[in-house]
Structure 1
Amino acid sequence: MRYMMTYDLMEAARNTNQWMGASALSLASYPIFSMIPNPALNWMSAWGEVTERTFARMVTKPDWGIRTFTCKDGKDHLVNIETVVERPFGDLIHFSVPGREDTGRKVLLVAPMSGHYATLLRSTVKSLLVDCEVYITDWHNARDIPVSAGKFDIEDYTLYLVDFLRKMGPDTHVIAICQPAPLTLAATAYLAEQDPEAQPRSLILIGGPVDPDATPTEVTDFGRRVNMGQLEKTMIQRVGFKHSGVGRLVYPGLLQLASFMSMNAERHGSAFKDQILRVSRGEASDHDAHNRFYDEYLAVMDMTAEFYLSTVERVFKDREIARNEFVVDGHKVDIGKITNVAVMTVEGAKDDISAPGQCIAALDLCNGLPDSKKASHLEPGAGHYGIFAGKSWRDNIRPLVLDFFDANSGKSSGVRRKKPANSNVAAK
């Protein structure tokens, strides 16, 4: 019961803050107060508006917001979001654009399960829709999954990816972003041994901790500073009665969000203070830069306890994938068995979550892959978010990714883009 009480206590604190914000907004906006203008009331109203929105977003799954798409024919086409594979802990969804010509590129985006929804990759999806048929893993919030659905750890996660890749077929290009990079590499190696015909054409790993010890950061080194008993006692809670997953042991999204915010507390505090001032002056809008970012950033989901704990223990502490000792469903995966799938790594020079060196370690593990099928790119000046959703992604990395697809698709799209001047993509 202790774990359930602490879970509900966090939810009660969130709910109280949301209520306080709504109350302050309502009180300060009472019509009679407009007879005597008072700057304090404007500030109170602005504080209430920002506070209510902030705490309400923490329990709301964002919408994809991708409804139409202008194709090369100049026509607007509807974007249908279709569920291709439906599973208890995550679905494979497809952004279908009816009526447009075949793009020749089928892409699976493997979204991270690290506290945020797959919608965190919305801008990545939109940028790839221009030239690709896009699929993505849509992981579910553990608090909404009944205990009867069973467990879900990193082995189950890997097997989900295996099933998704089998469903999509061999002409698939895969992009794994951040947390799933090592597990996607393992899933590809698993297919290389168990079902070679289902292997993807290419695999691009972006900012993932394949070898966390290569260049430790505050995030990846966390597992070294605590033992598993401490981690389970301090981080794991049991879902409260309000949700469908009542009784399930989870690593709460609100706890993860607190960790995210504490890493850059001064920057986040300044951002919210500035937003309150903008609202009080009437300079803010519902979809301004602050709201667009924080509506997504604050929306968090719970992870199953077994997934969180097995990730820390097996990926970060024991480095099973980095040592090529990872076992899935009783089968020891050998990453060296990858011989046909082209592998590319992308890292950001200023990535403070998965620093340069952690992701490129995948290329050394692929010792059965010829050098001609290996590539790497280090993006100068880019942080973690920028390498898959920011300016660096749009201007430099995305063109390189599309070229890598074409070079390893067995057929040419007929379009070759000029490489950016700061590109250092090269065979390893």
Structure 2
Amino acid sequence: MRYMMTYDLMEATRNANQWLGATAQSFASYPGVSMMPNPMFNWLASWGKVTERTFQRMVVKPDWGIRTVTCADGRDHLVDIQTVVEEPFGNLIYFKVPGRDIQPRKVLLVAPMSGHYATLLRSTVASLLPDCELYVTDWHNARDIPASKGKFDVEDYTLYLVEFMRHLGPDTHVIAVCQPAPLTLAATAYLAEQDPDAQPLSLTLIGGPIDPDATPTEVTDFGRRVTMGQLEETAIQRVGFKYPGVGRMVYPGLLQLSSFISMNSERHADAFSGQIQREMRGEAGEHDAHNRFYDEYLAVMDMTAEFYLSTVERIFKNGEVAKNEFVVDGHHVDIGKITNVAVKTVEGANDDISAPGQCIAALDLCTGLPDSMKASHVEPGAGHYGIFAGRAWRDNIRPLVIEFMNANSTKPARKSKAARPANRNVAAAS
């Protein structure tokens, strides 16, 4: 019960600020106030509207907002999001497009569990949907999972990926974005040993910390500075009485958000000040650039304490994946056992979260894979989010990923060293 009070205090503070915003907007928008032509009331109403929306979004899971997709036939088709595998800590969902031909590429998009919902990849999903049969990992908010469901750490995460890959079958292309890259690589290696026939056709790792020490960043430096005891003492709390996961130890989303914002506090302050001014001038809209960004950015989810702590300790501090020492369910996962799954890495030249060098380290770990099945790409001028969203992704990276999947649409004989083209950005030539 030690940390339950602080969890409830954070929620009460958030709720109070949402109420203050709503109250200010209601008071300053009252018709009688218009009899006093003072710009203060216009500012107060605008402040209240922005404040209420801001604090409300912190506890709301965003909608995917992908209702239609334009396909090769030139027609708009409805998108039906279906749950195909349901588990306590995360589901496998399928973006079904009724009325169109089955696409030749079946893709599993592994979303990060790093404080935000899978909807953070909304633009990535929308860009892949016209050409792929798309499946996405939809992780659950830990506060909503009863403590009776047990733990969830990096090993459980890896086993979930193994289950999802087995369900989809060997004709699948896997794309992992950011945080899950090392665990997706480990899950593929696990299948290579335990169930070779279930391995995917290809694996694309985008901006993931395979070897965090390859190129240190502020994130890796933080992981080195703090001890596990300090992290557990300052970051971990128990879910309060309001949610189904009452009593579960978590790294709260609201606490994560405070650290996100503190890293760029001046920029965020300027953004909200500007939005209040736009509200005052009547220039703000429900789906303007500010609201589109912050509706997603502010929507945070709790992570289980064991997942957060094991990620920091085993992936960043101990570098178990980077050293090929990762263990899942008592079994040492040897990444060198991957022999017939094409692997591609994508990095952003200006990525300050997972810097260039961290992700491409995966190719050196795949000692059993011929160079013809390895590929890499570094996107000039792209930051972390740019390599899976925005113009850099749409114009440059996505076509390379599609090309890579097309080039590896069939699986060669196991352990075959026969050369075949992976894509034009072959790692051996880079």
TM-score range, shorter chain: over 0.9
Question: In the alignment, which residue of structure 2 is the partner of 1:338?
Answer: 338
Q: Is residue 2:106 matched to residue 1:106? A: yes
Give the drift of 1:311: 0.3
2:157 counterpart residue number: 157
> 2:176 corresponds to which residue?
176
For residue 143 of structure 1, report the CA deviation from its aligned partner. Answer: 0.2
| Percent of paired sites with the same residue | 79
1:418: which partner in 2?
none
1:75 CA drift (Å): 2.4
Q: Which residue number corresponds to residue 277 of structure 1?
A: 277
- Give the Å deviation of 1:425: 2.5
Q: 1:50 Cα shift?
A: 0.6
Counterpart Cα distance in 2 of 1:282 and 1:296:
23
| Aligned-pair CA distance for 1:66 | 1.1
SS at match of 1:250: strand
Q: Distance in 1 between matches of 2:306 and 2:195?
A: 27
- 2:39 maps to a residue whose letter is P
Structure 2 equivalent of residue 289 of structure 1: 289
Aligned to 1:25: 25
Match of 2:336, as an amino acid?
G
Q: Deviations over 1:54-97 (max 9, x none)?
A: 00000000011111222222222211101010000000000000
What corresponds to 1:70 in structure 2?
70
User: In 2, are the aligned partners of 1:212 and 1:221 still within 8 Å (CA)?
Assistant: no
> Matched residues in 2 for 1:426 and 1:273: separation?
47
- C-alpha contact (below 8 Å) 2:217/2:352 kept by paired residues: yes
How far, CA to CA, are the matches of 1:205 and 1:127 in structure 2? 17
What is the distance in 2 between the residues matched to 1:12 and 1:427? 52
Q: Determine the structure 2 residue equivalent to 1:321.
A: 321
CA distance in 2, matches of 1:64, 1:75: 21
Deviations 1:338-365 (A, max 9, x none): 0100000000111111111110100000
SS of equivalent to 2:218? coil
- Match of 1:329, as an amino acid? D
Q: Which residue of 2 aligns with 1:416?
A: none
1:240 aligns with 2:240: yes
Structure 2 residue aligned with 1:249? 249
Contact 2:372 2:426 in 1 (8 A): no
Equivalent residue for 1:9?
Answer: 9
TM-score (norm 2): 0.96
State the 1:204 CA deviation.
0.4
Q: Distance in 2 between matches of 1:408 and 1:317?
A: 34
TM-fit CA distance, 1:268: 1.1
CA distance in 2, matches of 1:427, 1:325: 24
Q: Which runs of 5+ in 1 are unaligned?
A: 412-422
1:30-41 equivalences in 2 (<5 Å): 30-41=30-41
- Corresponding residue for residue 301 of structure 1: 301
> After TM superposition, what 4+ stretches of structure 1 lie above 3 angstroms from structure 2?
none
Structure 1 residue 213 corresponds to structure 2 residue 213: yes
Q: CA deviation at 1:37?
A: 2.2
Q: Which residue of 2 aligns with 1:415?
A: none
Q: How many residues align?
A: 417
Q: Is the 8 A contact 1:79 1:98 kept in 2?
A: yes
- CA distance in 1 between counterparts of 2:217 and 2:85 reads 36
1:117 aligns with 2:117: yes
SS at match of 2:131: coil
Query: Which SS does the other structure have where 1:115 is aligned?
Result: coil
- In structure 2, the residue matched to 1:377 is 377
Please say if residues 209 and 354 of structure 1, whose CA atoms lie closer than 8 Å, have aligned partners that are also in contact. Answer: yes
Q: Is structure 2 residue 361 aligned with structure 1 residue 395? A: no
The residue type equivalent to 2:116 in the other structure is H
Give deviations 1:342-389, integer Å, cap 9, x for gaps.
000000111111111110100000011000000111011111011001
Q: Deviations over 1:273-331 (max 9, x none)?
A: 11111111100000000000000010000000000000000000000000000000000
Deviation of 1:424 after TM superposition, in Å, equals: 8.3
Q: Tell me which residue corresponds to 1:135.
A: 135
Q: In 2, distance between residues paired with 1:294 and 1:332?
A: 41
SS at match of 1:130: helix
Q: What is the distance in 2 between the residues matched to 1:362 and 1:40?
A: 57
1:204-243 deviations in whole A, cap 9, x for unaligned? 0000000000111111221111111111011000000000
Residue pair 2:339, 2:368 contacting (<8 A) in 1 also = yes
Structure 1 segment 53-92 matched on structure 2, within 5 A: 53-92=53-92
CA distance in 2, matches of 1:330, 1:410: 32
Is the CA contact 2:223–2:312 (under 8 Å) kept in the aligned structure 1?
yes
Matches of 1:349 and 1:277 in 2, distance apart? 35
Contact 1:81 1:96 in 2 (8 A): yes
The C-alpha deviation readout for 1:11-44, integer Å capped at 9, x for no partner, is 1111111111111111110111112322111111
More divergent stretch after superposition (8-17 vs 107-116): 8-17
Counterpart position of 2:415: none
Q: Which amino acid aligns with 1:300?
A: V
Question: Which amino acid is the alignment partner of residue 86 of structure 1?
Answer: E
Q: Give the alignment's TM-score, normalised by structure 1.
A: 0.96
CA contact (8 A) 2:82 2:94 kept: yes
Q: For residues 329 and 103 of structure 2, what CA distance do their matches in structure 1 show?
A: 36
Letter in 1 for 2:36: I
